[in-house]
Amino acid sequence: MGVVVLSADRLTKPIAPLLLGIHVVALPLYPHMPVMVLLLTAAFTVWALLIINGKAARPGRWALAVMTVLVVVVLMLSFGTILGQLPGSAMLLLLAFLKLFEMKSTRDIAIVIFMGFFLVASKFFYSQSLLIAAHVFVVVVYLTSLLIVFSDRLGTMRLQARLHQSFRMIAQAVPLMLILFVLFPRMPGPLWGLPRDAGSATSGLSEEMSPGSINRLIASGEVAFRVQFDSEPPPRSDLYWRGLALSSYDGRTWRMENAPAFARPLIVSEDVVETIYSYTVMLEPHNQHWLYALELPIQHDRSLLATREMHLVAASPVTDVLNYQLRSDIGAENGGLFEPERRKNLALPEGLNQDTAEFASKLFIESNRDSNAYINNVLRYFSNEAFSYTLSPPLLGEHAMDDFLFSTRRGFCEHFASAFVYLMRSAGIPSRVVVGYQGGAMHPFDDYMIVRQSDAHAWAEVWLEDEGWVRVDPTAAVSPTRIERGIENAGLEHDLLPAILISDNVVFQRARYMLDSFRNSWNQWIVGFNSDRQKELLRLLGFNNVTSSNLLMGLVLLMTVAGSLVAWWVIHREPVRRRDEIKLYYEKFCSKLEKVGIRHRSNEGATEFLSRVMQLLPSKRRELAMITDDYERLRYSCDNSEALLKRYIRAVRRFKPK
């Protein structure tokens, strides 16, 4: 695009389509932006609309300087920094508005459009879903059409023609894109590091638990992960997907307190075939290190680490769809308890919940100080008393356990797990809270299980001398249907559950499962297309043991062939006579100019030649621009209609330099 200074009457014309482009690009980013950034964006938009309608003037140099300072102040107040993924996106968005206000040439228009291309790429930090990919495609088509229209000096192309040409250009690039995507060697790690806040908006379990932290997830029907078993899955009552063990309690919140990194778990598996399951987890990004596994994992990928507390962790936060293979034994024992671990899992905050401590002491004595009998009596207490399983429990006071056990008696799984562990520790039994997911639904059309955020759950583990760590789920004593039939059948308030779980519409249910199949395929073959997937695809195509050098050679070969075919198609899409005719009349045009002393240089393109001739023949600017524009479109674009060719020939014939 040549640099053309815009006249006063053309300064306002590009604002409307560019303003629309900025908002279309930033639309998915707005839900993540702070209020101050949104207010400043709205103010800039109103000012731009006033300029378009002729009711306001463009900001001057000093006004732009003040606005730039204002942008920096708003970003610092909103984020505390201008670095990072979200602050960077906000800064780019606001600077695009400022550039919109100071446009003086076609180069400024191009800068605003290219800022839109950069901004649209930032959406993949938040999501790499099919919906975002479709939105990006639409935005790229629109921005490319803007590049086309603002390179059309005469403005003769209509919007429909611009969009059609843009779509055609991008469609022509798809074969080359597919070749690069499939054959470009996949690296074992990322090519560059993501900003620290990339994926920060992803939902899921956190590394601490307090009243209400899990039941807030129940309203979400989002997929947490998918699981593909090598054989039949275990019964639903055994589907405990372990996440984190929480040992530290301050009277309200349970938190992790991990053993040293060198400490390892002691898993004892008797290798009974009936209790061992092999499977692959397809984990959605949650921006955390920890993973989820069926209790208890006995084999896992070498890239993963199992901590002393049986947290399965990855080397880096999960910001993309992650596939990992596991082998779990639901009958295995988790043994071993060091003295520091015993103290950690017996600790209670001082001066709180005296009624609970006295109740635990009394019940433990009534159980003849037998741990198993005491556990059964506590579960019987939950089952026989008027406890309710609810998604809307009342607030608890400073003595949360006393309030829950003897007053409100209404709670969700975190309330029951927390109270159970407190009662165990009060009786001298080491115990801890475990958070993860329980259950999952098999896909009726595909061979995998879906575990949603609504399956989030909390349970307990107690240490028994002869058995090691033993899972106890007090929720099962209050709502056994929650464990056996899922959250949607637990008798909870239906208006607080996601519609995706409770809808009885057969068409809706079938549609959501089909959509999930499509999303899973997108995740596996597009988002999660790593070196393993690449090798798998090549094996399906009949290529085994392909090395990186083979891939590079094949890539170069196919790109060469594809490029040659595209070049052949471009060259031969019109008769030779037609191409010669276009060139012939351009040479006539140059010959006419040469007669008045303006010689076309051999290394000078049509656009550069036009810029030079316009300065020498200002009175002929419109004719010069029309002939050059028609020539470039006939030679290099897809617009090669007979009407355009006739207009071009007629203009050259009529052109007179003087």
- What pLDDT digit, counting tens, does each position of 35-84 carry? 999 999 999 999 888 888 888 888 888 888 999 999 999 999 988 887 77
User: What angle, rounded to 10 degrees, do the helices at 576-594 and 606-616 form?
Assistant: 30
- Residue 194 reports pLDDT greater than 60: no
Quickly state the pLDDT bin for 601 (edges 50, 70, 90). Answer: confident
**What is the number of helices (H) and of strands (E) in the chain?**
22, 20
Question: Which residues have C-beta within 8 Å of that of residue 609, sequence separation ≥ 6?
Answer: 590, 600, 601, 628
Bridge pairing between strands 431-438 and 240-246: antiparallel
For the chain, the straight-line distance linking the first and the last C-alpha, in angstroms and rounded, comes to 28
State phi, psi for 55 to the nearest 5 degrees.
-100, 0
Give the three-state DSSP class for 493.
coil
What phi, psi does 80 have (nearest 5°)?
80, 0
Rounded to the nearest angstrom, the gap between the alpha carbon of residue 231 and the centroid of all alpha carbons in its chain is 31
The predicted structure's pLDDT at residue 192: 45
Name the one residue in this structure whose structure tokens are 């950034």: 37
Q: Which two tokens stand for residue 170?
A: 């991008």
Distance CA 296, CA 587 (A): 79
pLDDT of residue 59: 84
pLDDT at 574 over 60: no
For 283-287, 316-320, 486-490, which range has the lowest pLDDT when averaged over its residues? 486-490
Q: Does the structure show a pLDDT above 70 at 193? A: no
Neighbours of 455 (CB within 10 A): 24
- Residue 368 region by backbone torsions, left for phi larger than 0, else alpha for psi between -120 and 50, else beta: left
Cβ(317)–Cβ(290) below 8 Å: no
Q: Give the neighbor-by-neighbor strand order of the sheet with 297-300.
A: 297-300, 322-329, 276-283, 223-229, 449-452, 441-442
Averaged pLDDT of the chain: 84
Q: What pLDDT, on the 0 to 100 scale, is given for residue 499? A: 66
How confident is the model over 430-446, as pLDDT tens digits?
A: 999 999 999 998 988 88
What is the predicted pLDDT for the residue at 294? 95
> Given a cut of 60, is residue 196 above it in pLDDT?
no
Q: How does strand 468-472 pair with strand 456-464?
A: antiparallel
Q: Which two tokens stand for residue 420?
A: 């159970």
- Rounded (10°) angle between helices 621-636 and 642-654: 140
Mean pLDDT of 349-357: 93
- pLDDT band at residue 7 under the 50/70/90 scheme: very low
Which of 48-52, 85-89, 635-639 bottoms out in mean pLDDT, i.e. has the lowest?
635-639
Residue 320 confidence (pLDDT): 78
Tokens matching residue 225: 């992960």
Average pLDDT over residues 288-303: 90
- State the number of CA atoms in the 13 A half-sphere of 186 facing the CB: 18
What is the reported pLDDT for 638?
59
| Residues near 538 by beta carbon (within 8 Å), at least 6 away in sequence | 544, 546
- pLDDT the model gives residue 201: 46
Rg (CA), the chain: 33
Which residue carries 């999660």 as its tokens?
Answer: 528
Label residue 153 by pLDDT band (50, 70, 90).
low
DSSP-assigned beta bridge partners for residue 127: none
Q: What is the pLDDT of residues 301-329, one digit of tens each?
A: 888 988 998 889 998 888 878 889 999 99
Distance CA 82, CA 37 (A): 12
The count of residues in the chain is 658
Tokens 């520091």 found at: 340
Q: How confident is the model at residue 281 (pLDDT cuts 50, 70, 90)?
A: very high
Per-residue pLDDT band at 367 (split at 50, 70, 90) = very high
Residue 123 to residues 23, 134, 135, 147: CA-CA distances in angstroms?
13, 12, 10, 21
Q: Which amino acid appears at position 304 of this protein? A: L
Kindly give, in sequence order, each residue whose CB lies less than 8 Å from that of residue 126, ignoring residues fewer than 6 positions away.
Answer: 28, 29, 32, 132, 199, 201
pLDDT single digits (tens) 107-126: 888 888 888 888 888 777 77
**pLDDT digits over 530-571, tens only?**
777 778 788 887 788 777 777 788 888 888 887 787 777 766
Q: From 475, 379, 374, select the one nearest 428 (Cα to Cα).
A: 374
Has residue 154 got a pLDDT over 80? no
Q: Is the pLDDT of residue 605 over 80?
A: yes
The one-letter amino acid code at 564 reads S
As a whole number of angstroms, the distance between CA 582 and CA 630 comes to 10
DSSP string, 170-187: HHHHHHHHHHHHHHSPPP
| Position 213 pLDDT exceeds 50 | yes
Distance (Å, whole) CA 325 – CA 298:
11
**Domains of the chain: which residue ranges?**
8-151, 208-500, 574-654
Q: Check if the beta carbon of residue 555 is closer than 8 Å to that of residue 543.
A: no
Q: Are strands 305-306 and 312-313 parallel, antiparallel or unpaired?
A: antiparallel
Torsional sign, CA 335, 337, 343, 344: negative
CA 390 to chain centre: 32
pLDDT for residue 658 is more than 90: no
Please check whether residue 310 is in contact with residue 242, taking contact to mean a CB–CB distance below 8 angstroms.
yes
> For 217-254, what is each residue's pLDDT tens digit?
877 778 999 999 999 999 999 999 999 999 999 998 99
Query: Which H or E run includes 286?
Result: none
pLDDT at 175 > cutoff 50: yes
Cα–chain-centroid distance for residue 270? 41
Nearest CA to 611 among 628, 592, 597? 628
374: exposed, middle or buried (Cβ count in 10 Å: 0-12, 13-18, 19+): buried
Dist CA 236 CA 258 (whole Å): 29
Q: What is the DSSP letter of 406?
A: I
3-state secondary structure string across 532-583:
HHHHHHHHHCCCCCCCHHHHHHHHHHHHHHHHHHHHHHHHHCCCHHHHHHHH
Confidence band (pLDDT; 50, 70, 90) for 458? Answer: very high
Residue 192: Cβ within 10 Å count: 4
Percent share of the chain, pLDDT over 90: 26
Task: Determine the Cα–Cα distance for residues 364 and 359; give it in Å rounded to an integer.
Answer: 8
pLDDT at 11 over 60: no
Helix (H) or strand (E) holding 470: strand 468-472
